[in-house]
Amino acid sequence: SEGLSQAFSMLQTTSRQVSNKSTDDDDGGQRTKIKQAEQQDLWSCLAESALEALDLNIAEKALVKCGDYRGICLVQRLRNTYGGDRMKQRAEVMTYLGRFDEAEQIYSDMDRKDLAVQLRSRLEDWTRVSSLVKKNGAGDDTQLTTAYKQLGERFGGAGNWEKAREYLEMAKDVKKLAQ
């Protein structure tokens, strides 16, 4: 956490220096624009590192510098909803970062397979939802039926009628089968 604080301070200083420099006449301000773009990338990297370390104060400050509203909302949600549950916070961070397999693994390690099913449902990863429900007993018959219906519709939309029929039969969706 101290390393993140030092990185934050250094970035703040560098940002002030870049914004205080006047544009050079010979390059039309291009160097300043490039340095500002580099600063944005550095703030983004700092935000990601702080989120991974669950240093929410540094993460929030860096996300503000990036103008990442979605990330700022995540930090607020992590503070307000999950309080001190660091495992749930970590899983939410992994989801935000697009590392869904890691998030699912964290939920499984917490013995919260229901949250893993919810995650995969939000992602519309119906193959994984059906697998989690069948293998791990996570979720219920309604979730399994929904997954089968969605898979049937997906295969039907792609013209794979045999697979569509198979999943719609498992979902017992007579109406869709008739179509």
pLDDT digits (tens, 9 = 90+) for 20-43: 554 444 566 666 665 666 778 888
The pTM of this model reads 0.76
Distance of alpha carbon 26 from alpha carbon 148, whole angstroms: 64
Amino acid letter, residue 161: W
Distance of alpha carbon 140 from alpha carbon 126, whole angstroms: 14
The CA angle 24-27-30, to the nearest 5 degrees, is 95
| DSSP string covering 95-106 | HHTT-HHHHHHH
**pLDDT given at position 23:** 47
**pLDDT given at position 61:** 93
